[in-house]
Amino acid sequence: MNERLEVRPGGRLAGTVAVPGDKSVSHRAVMLGALADGVTEVSGCLMGEDVVSTMDAFRAMGVAVDVHAAGRLSVHGVGVDGLRTPGAPLDLGNSGTSMRLLAGILAGAGVGATLTGDASLSRRPMKRVAEPLGRMGAVIETAPGGTPPLVVAGGHPLSAIDYALPVASAQVKSAVLLAGLFAAGTTRVSEPAPTRDHTERMLGAFGVEVDYGGGRAAIRGGQRLAAAEIVVPADISSAAFFLVGASITPDSALHLPGIGVNPTRTGILEILAAMGADIRRGAERRCGDEPVADLEVRAAPLRGITIPPHTVPLAIDEFPAVFVAAACAEGTTVLRGAEELRHKESDRIAVMADGLAALGIACETFADGIAITGGRLRGGRVDAHGDHRIAMAFAMAALRADGPVVIDNAAAIATSFPEFTARAAATGLGIVA
């Protein structure tokens, strides 16, 4: 993937887009497969760099992961007591999910390891997992600012806790639940607002009893996992760029088959519908424990809205795309209650505001949000700051710009959607090769 991406202005999107496997579900399939007894077969797995970081981390702890054809894996589980101490620090690249969930697993399994990452991951907050895991009995050090590297000490048995999450974070919830799998007693978590529940669902697929729903989850320690067959749905977070691109561009129409529509992930559909988008769901079915549907999107005039607060955790990764939709909408879109966006792969409020300004769209930023008034997009040069979702969002903005959009620091697209430029070009986006 090139560091610099250039997209010609105009065009329209049409046809069918195959969206790769869901990143969150793919990570969990590898992790739970590694902890299971027996061989877990995964299909539809995302082969993006983030998931490869998870695979490599488990390989370094003695788990064989065979990659067959694209997206098909066999994970040779070693059981909850079978992970080996890695011989070197585990480098998790750009992947916050790998680092936070692994912290819970390592602490629980009593395996000592150092977790490192790239420049972006090395700036992200890790106290949010070190703190609850510490309460369970884990010994975890962070760098002075609460950032990576994380040094997890081996051999400290854990006890269950009741934990009220201070921020709505599926990664923190999952780290505590995964540690709870190994702890003495029943670990209970509650969240300030419901977040994605893929961990809870997939633990069930591996035969683990988890009680969950309504922003709460409880897991009894000492359970074993039985190998499973996991089919990964297509990632609604990757689909979001195409949903926005087709919505903002006259005469566009796209078909997106097999998209995961877990209700803890469909905030983007609710937000775009409120803005006036024409997105239909068909062929609703299940993909293992996850609901999926085919999505049809057609161009539609969008209007600015106040984003409903309950949708924020349900669309947390989709805001770069939503901001591009807002820049093309009539009127002002206001987002508040989204301070978490400042702690993603980049500060998504600041970086999107800068990029939109470079394209002629004025924004007002707040500590916890942004107000964007739609207008005429001009061509220009934006910096994605190594954030995959910022790069893909600005690529779609070119559809409505009156000059080329050049995106610097775009290589991280490969973390979640390595085929993005090819698939976007095939549906009509003017990617300059």
Q: What residues line the site for ligand S3P (CB under 6 A)?
A: 24, 97, 169-171, 174, 195-196, 316-317, 340
Instruction: Select which of 91, 317, 383, 387 is catalytic.
Output: 317
Smallest gap from Cβ 317 to ligand S3P, in A, equals 5
The residue with its CB nearest to ligand S3P is 24
Mark whether 50 is an active-site residue: no
> By C-beta, is 115 or 399 nearer to ligand S3P?
115
Q: Which value, in Å, is the radius of gyration of the alpha carbons in the chain? A: 21
CB of 99 within 8 A of CB of 113?
A: no
The 3 state secondary structure assigned to 192-204 is: CCCCCCHHHHHHH
**244/377 Cα distance (integer angstroms):** 15
> By C-beta, is 176 or 401 nearer to ligand S3P?
176
Residue of 394, 416, 362 whose CA lies nearest to 9: 394
> By C-beta, is 177 or 299 nearer to ligand S3P?
177
Provide φ and ψ at 29, rounded to 5°: -65, -40
Q: What angle do CA 362, 363, 368 make, to 5 degrees?
A: 175
> By C-beta, is 73 or 175 nearer to ligand S3P?
175
Question: What is the signed CA dihedral for 192, 195, 199, 200, rounded to 10 degrees?
Answer: 60
> By C-beta, is 33 or 304 nearer to ligand S3P?
33
Smallest gap from Cβ 420 to ligand S3P, in A, equals 16
**295/254 Cα distance (integer angstroms):** 8
**At CB < 8 A and 24+ separation, what contacts does 328-331 make?**
328/248, 328/302, 328/374, 328/377, 328/397, 328/400, 329/275, 329/276, 329/302, 329/303, 329/304, 329/374, 330/301, 330/302, 330/303, 330/304, 330/374, 331/303, 331/304, 331/373, 331/374
> By C-beta, is 267 or 380 nearer to ligand S3P?
267
Smallest gap from Cβ 34 to ligand S3P, in A, equals 16
Smallest gap from Cβ 430 to ligand S3P, in A, equals 28
Q: Which residue bears the tokens 């560091």?
A: 3
Give the DSSP letter of residue 94.
T
Give the DSSP letter of residue 234.
B
CB of 23 within 8 A of CB of 260?
A: no
CB of 199 within 8 A of CB of 31?
A: no
Smallest gap from Cβ 171 to ligand S3P, in A, equals 4
Smallest gap from Cβ 315 to ligand S3P, in A, equals 10
Active site residues: 317
